[in-house]
Amino acid sequence: MNQDASGRREADRLKAESGLRTLIRRPEIGSFSGMVVILAFLAIVAGDVVFNPLGIKNNLAIISQLGIIAIGACLLMIAGEFDLSIGSMIGFAGMSMAMMMKWGLPFGLGEATPLTAFLLTLAMTLAIGCIIGNIVVRSGLSSFIVTLAFLFILRGLTEVSFREFNDGSTQISGLPDFKQDDFVAYIFGGEAFKWIFELLYEIGWNVNRRGEQWVGGLDARVAWWIVLGFITYVVLAKTQLGNWIYATGDNKESARANGVPVRQVKIGLFMFTAFCATIFAACQVFDTNTADAAKGNLKELEAIAAAVVGGTVMTGGFGSIVGVVFGAVIFGLVQNSVFYISWIDGSYYRVFLGTVLLIAAFANENIRKRITGGI
Amino acid sequence: MAPEAKPLIAVESIVKKFGPFTALNGVSMNVMPGEVHALLGDNGAGKSTLIKILAGVHQPTSGQIYVEGSPVSFRSPRDAAAAGIGTVYQDLALNQLMSVTRNFFMGREIFSGPAPFGVMKIAEMDKITHDEMVKIGIDISDPTQAVGTMSGGQRQTLAIARAIYFGAKVLILDEPTSALGQKQQMEVLKTIKRVRALGNIAIIFITHNEIHSKLVADRFTFLSLGEVIGSGTKEELAGDDIRRLMAGGAEMKDLEQELATI
Distances (CA, A) of B27 to A278, B14, B45, B49: 60, 5, 11, 11
Q: Tell me the CATH number for domain B9-93+170-261.
A: 3.40.50.300
Domains and CATH numbers, chain A: 30-365 (1.10.3470)
In this prediction, residue A18 carries a pLDDT of 54
CA distance A336 to A342: 13
Of A159, A124, A141, the closest CA to residue A84 belongs to A141
Cα A300 to Cα A71, A91, A287, A361, distances in angstroms: 11, 11, 21, 17
The verdict on whether omega for the bond into residue A27 sits within 30 degrees of 0, i.e. cis, is no
The answer to whether ipTM exceeds 0.90 is: no
Domain residue ranges in chain B: 9-93+170-261
| pLDDT recorded at residue A56 | 87
What does the alpha-carbon distance between residue A344 and residue A355 come to, in Å, rounded to a whole number?
A: 16
User: Are the beta carbons of A254 and B95 separated by less than 8 Å?
Assistant: yes
Chain A residues with beta carbon closer than 8 angstroms to that of B144: none
Q: Chain B partners of A1 at a C-beta cutoff of 8 Å?
A: 137-139
Give the length of chain B.
Answer: 262
Tens-place pLDDT, residues A51-70:
888 888 989 999 999 999 99
Q: Choose among B196, B217, B197: nearest CA to B206.
A: B217
Q: What is the DSSP letter of A359?
A: H
**Phi, psi dihedrals of residue B247, rounded to the nearest 5°:** -85, 20
Q: pLDDT 10s per residue in chain B (262 long)?
A: 444 578 899 999 999 999 899 999 999 999 998 899 999 888 888 888 998 899 888 899 999 999 999 999 998 888 888 899 988 887 778 998 999 999 999 989 999 989 889 999 999 999 999 999 998 888 887 888 889 888 888 888 899 999 999 989 999 998 888 878 888 888 889 999 999 998 889 999 998 888 888 889 999 998 888 899 888 888 887 766 777 777 666 666 777 788 888 8
CA–CA distance, B79 with A260 (Å, rounded to integer): 16
B151: which chain A residues are within 8 Å (Cβ-Cβ)?
Answer: 10
State how far residue A289 is from chain B, nearest Cα, in angstroms: 36
SS3 A105: coil
| Pairing verdict, β B170-174 and B85-88 | parallel
Q: Average pLDDT of chain A?
A: 88
Q: Measured between CB atoms, does A235 come within 8 Å of chain B?
A: yes
| pLDDT > 70: percent of chain A | 93
SS (H, E, C) A235-257: HHHHEHHHHHHHHHHHCHHHHHH
- What is the C-alpha to C-alpha distance for residues A162 and A77, in angstroms, rounded to an integer? 32
Chain A: closest CA distance from residue B83 (Å): 16
The verdict on A54 touching B (C-beta cutoff 8 Å) is no
Contact B93 A258 (CB under 8 A): yes
Say if A251 is an interface residue toward chain B (CB within 8 Å): yes
Residue A37 burial (10 A CB sphere; 0-12, 13-18, 19+): exposed
Q: Do A259 and B107 touch (CB under 8 A)?
A: yes
Give the one of B108, B139, B183 whose C-beta lies nearest to A259's C-beta: B108
How many other CB atoms sit within 10 Å of the CB of residue A163? 13
pLDDT in tens, A60-115: 999 999 999 999 999 999 999 999 999 999 999 999 999 999 999 888 788 889 99
B122-136 confidence digits (pLDDT tens):
999 999 999 999 988
Which residues in chain B are closer than 8 Å to A255, comparing Cβ atoms?
A: 95, 106-107
**Quick count: other Cβ atoms within 10 Å of Cβ B15?**
15
Lowest mean per-residue pLDDT among A25-34, A89-98, A157-166, B179-188: A25-34
Give the whole-angstrom CA distance, residue A165 versus residue A41. 48
